[in-house]
């Protein structure tokens, strides 16, 4: 959606002195604004740009130097300079003052001339170099990651998908930020229904600023109150290229390395970045392990509370005696113990993330070993409960894409198990499953591969089949489902 500017400026007059005066007024309070007035062989001109955002070397060598030597045609100075007087790979005649203001604040340079102005590409702001994302490291495969420059990010995709079917559509969001957003898809594969729905949701957005992709994510996603994601996000170009080849749409936001993908299916939560670079047998085992770890993480505390409080007869005698002995003289109930440990575990995890890396490791050791052992010896926390919550927490770290859902489900299930036993836990799990099966992402069923199961459709879900067996794209993402042809 193209946004409107908040400032009021006059249109270009075509008179050089008046245009110079206008921009001096507009940028009177901008410390980085620079203007250089030039006296060329048979005309006058002015160069305006922002220091530190535009490249000074490019301005000097590609604009100022050739202009001081160029003799323009007096009857049409603007077109003469535009066609023959400057050395720039990208130039455009400005249509309005607003266009010039946005351009120079983003690193371009405006050349003011009698009769109008020309905008020249001189972007020179520094950006972070391309390196591997710290949160998405892989054992094998590409090591490149996106940075904060959307143009660099798009080139990483163009290098991988060298086809004219790759379409890039630019939009602008934010009344104050004018953030560039690019919609990227493969036209011969994408589901046009999904694409049209995305455009419809984006066109409704009217906000003063967009500084990160999550601004858009929260405003376009389905089921905003759900615990499960319906919009994907990654910092890896190889993952985006793979998603585009499956029929998804990618959303690039300038200023952030996180790229969004839609639609997003439930099985993606259990897929790893290097699943397709390792042996399919190892990958399949790892995926099954992630599903098991998710179940352990959300169910084990609730099962423990249900069995201890309501069904102790189901536990082995020696195990029940051990638990009873450990719980003697405990000041809290089992449920309060569980909540306290979950709360402390997430405090330690959050502190480890926010602290410097060297201190974070020390904090984890102190919190996990010293404090935990001291709490057990002081009979504040029972050892079996500490083991249960620790196991749940460690298993939750295996499925990082569901960390938010795991946190809430762990507490909800523990509350249900402590309140109604196995019946309460069963009801809570049933409600969660019903909610997941009723979810959708951009008109695509969240669990479409389970609603319409097929031999091909299940080859990249719970397990990953070898490449020569995955002949079709995932169900629901594209009408062009043929991925590989038999020879």
Q: Return the pLDDT at 6.
A: 44
Q: How far apart are CA 162 and CA 142, in angstroms?
A: 17
Residue 5 is predicted with a pLDDT of: 43
Facing residues of 111 across strands?
47, 118
pLDDT of residue 321: 77
Going along 409-481, which residue ranges are E strands? 440-441, 444-445
Please give the pLDDT value at position 358.
Answer: 61
Distance CA 136, CA 250 (A): 18
Pick the closest to residue 58 from 135, 148, 121, 9 (CA basis).
121
Residue 361 region, left (φ>0) first, then alpha (ψ -120 to 50), else beta? alpha
pLDDT at 288: 93
pLDDT for position 137: 82
* pLDDT value of position 368: 64
Single pTM value for the model: 0.84
List the 232-234 sheet strands across, edge first. 166-173, 179-186, 249-253, 259-262, 232-234
487 residues of the chain, pLDDT tens digit each: 444 444 445 678 888 898 898 899 888 888 889 999 989 888 889 999 998 888 888 999 889 998 888 888 878 888 888 888 888 888 888 888 888 988 898 889 999 998 889 999 998 877 777 888 888 888 888 888 999 889 899 999 999 998 899 999 999 999 888 899 999 999 989 989 999 999 999 999 999 999 999 999 999 999 888 999 999 999 999 999 999 999 999 999 999 999 999 999 999 999 988 888 888 898 899 999 999 999 999 999 999 999 888 888 877 777 777 777 766 777 778 888 888 888 888 887 777 777 766 665 666 666 666 677 777 777 777 888 888 888 998 898 899 899 889 999 999 999 999 989 899 999 999 999 999 999 999 989 998 888 777 777 778 888 888 888 888 888 778 877 777 766 5
Instruction: Give residue 244's pLDDT.
Output: 94
């Amino acid at each position: 959606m193209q946004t409107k500017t908040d400032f009021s400026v006059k249109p270009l007059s075509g008179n050089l002195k008046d245009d110079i005066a206008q921009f001096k007024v507009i940028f009177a309070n901008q410390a980085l604004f620079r203007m250089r007035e030039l006296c060329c062989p048979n005309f006058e001109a002015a160069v305006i740009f922002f220091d530190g955002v535009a490249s000074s070397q490019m301005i000097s060598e590609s604009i100022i130097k050739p202009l001081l030597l160029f003799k323009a045609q007096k009857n049409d100075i603007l077109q003469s300079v535009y066609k023959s007087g400057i050395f720039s790979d990208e130039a455009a005649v400005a249509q309005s003052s607003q266009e010039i203001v946005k351009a120079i604040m983003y690193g371009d340079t405006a050349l003011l001339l009698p009769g109008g102005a020309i905008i020249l590409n001189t972007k020179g702001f520094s950006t972070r170099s391309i390196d591997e994302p710290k949160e998405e490291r892989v054992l094998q495969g590409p090591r490149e990651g996106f940075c904060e420059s959307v143009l660099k990010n798009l080139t990483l995709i163009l290098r991988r998908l060298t086809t004219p079917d790759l379409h890039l559509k630019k939009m602008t969001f934010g009344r104050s930020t004018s953030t560039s957003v690019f919609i990227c898809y493969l036209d011969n594969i994408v589901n046009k229904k999904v694409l049209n729905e995305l455009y419809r949701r984006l066109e409704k957005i009217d906000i003063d600023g967009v500084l990160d992709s999550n601004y858009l994510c929260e405003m376009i996603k389905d089921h905003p109150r759900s615990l499960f994601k319906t919009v994907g996000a990654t910092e890896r170009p190889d993952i985006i290229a793979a998603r585009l080849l499956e029929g998804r749409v990618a959303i690039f936001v300038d200023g952030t390395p996180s790229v969004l993908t839609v639609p997003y299916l439930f099985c993606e939560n259990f897929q790893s970045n290097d699943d397709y670079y390792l042996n399919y047998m190892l990958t399949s085992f790892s995926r099954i392990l992630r599903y098991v770890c998710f179940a352990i993480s959300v169910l084990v505390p609730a099962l423990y509370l249900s069995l201890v409080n309501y069904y102790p007869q189901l536990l082995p005698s020696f195990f029940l005696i051990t638990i009873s002995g450990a719980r003697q003289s405990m000041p809290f109930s089992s449920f309060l113990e569980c909540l306290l440990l979950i709360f402390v575990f997430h405090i330690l995890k959050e502190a480890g993330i926010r602290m410097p890396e060297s201190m974070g490791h020390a904090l984890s050791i102190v919190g996990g070993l010293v404090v935990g052992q001291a709490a057990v010896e002081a009979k504040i926390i029972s050892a079996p409960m500490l083991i249960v919550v620790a196991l749940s927490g460690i298993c939750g770290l295996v499925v990082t894409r569901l960390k938010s859902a795991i946190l809430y489900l762990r507490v909800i299930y523990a509350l249900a198990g402590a309140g109604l036993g196995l019946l309460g836990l069963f009801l809570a799990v049933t409600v969660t499953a019903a909610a997941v099966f009723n979810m959708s992402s951009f008109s695509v069923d969240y669990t479409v591969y389970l609603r319409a199961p097929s031999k091909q459709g299940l080859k990249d879900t719970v397990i990953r089949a070898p490449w020569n067996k995955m002949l079709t794209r995932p169900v629901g993402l594209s009408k062009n489902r043929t991925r590989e042809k038999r020879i």
